[in-house]
A and B are shown apart, each in its own frame.
Chain A
Amino acid sequence: MAYSDKVLDHYENPRNVGSFDKNDDTVGTGMVGAPACGDVMKLQIKVNDEGIIEDAKFKTYGCGSAIASSSLLTEWVRGKTLEEASQIKNTQIAEELALPPVKIHCSVLAEDAIKAAVSNYQERHGEAAEAEKQSA
């Protein structure tokens, strides 16, 4: 299968590979996919006090397109609000990377990953906020 130059670039030089401490209060973690399906993406976002995503990191088990989709995503979400980040659509990722039809699911997975990371952050902060209220 022929890969686009952009997929190859992200695959050869993946951006923002790594992990944050998932127990860190400022971190939201999204893990989607399953080994049985051949791809698992872990996307983590680090959010500042203003609700802006300061940093993002990923690890992906999957084909080159899956790795490229998640690598690209970490670039895109930086500097975005949670709201903006969760509006990223798989079609934008697929278009940017020129993914062929059989690889569209990789971009869908990436969209799922950022949504999961945002909601993980929000859930934890919802709970944390409530815990604060109760103790006050």
Chain B
Amino acid sequence: MQRGMGLGVTELEHMAKRCRRNIVKMVYNAKAGHPGGSLSAIDMLTALYGHRLRVNPDQPDWGDRDRFIMSKGHASPGVYAVLHERGFLSESDLQTFRKLGGPCQGHVDMKWCPGVDFSAGSLGMGLSFGIGCSLAATLDGSERTAWVMLGDGELQEGQIWEAVMAAVHHEVGNVKVIVDRNGIQNDDFCESQMRMFDVSEKFASFGWAVMEIDGHNMCEIVSAIDWADQVTDGPACIVMHTVKGKGVSFMENNPKFHGAAPSDQQFELAMEELQ
């Protein structure tokens, strides 16, 4: 199974644009959801599925697939958008977002959605799960890798630091973390809720290999993924600086759109901006 979808940077950028449109559509149709953190993460999500992850839409449960663990599970529209691009979900599946009986549950759920490896929704748990996947891969002698995306607000959960410590203790070279440092959480800017200061320094002080990038620069994103793959003697962390709501002017850096749907008028404006 090849890595990713064989897409170059320009193609990835186009894919990310399509995903952004689907994110806004899903949230608009459901009249609820989390557009801000989906839009901040979507360039990286696109690069992961388009450039890196070994997954198989024809066999979602293929045992030796790479795992992608969306720990910040509220950014589900972003995940569903890339799973659609990757062939796991149809256009009509996307219409089920937050609707009764559909695969696109409010928060990503492995029991409901093909291609989803982790049932999220409660913050702080995904890295631990990823470590479990990586320990199993090592026991199996497999090269499969666990990629885990964390929100920056999520880093306030104590369990994250239990897991950060454990990853180094167990020298898991097949765990890759991406921190979506968009600076906003549910209630307000992270800076006002609980300051986290230098996130990279925190990971590095535990013994992680760390790289900081612009999370909206596709060249940097692809390079960072390739860099993380080269780190094999312990865990690697990409801290990506992003803009919450990126790509939709009125959502950008706006705490109101952490978890809110656009109005009819706002939706039309967003669609124009994402042409």
A and B: partners? no
Interface residues of chain A, those whose CB is within 8 Å of chain B, are: none
Interface residues of chain B, those whose CB is within 8 Å of chain A, are: none
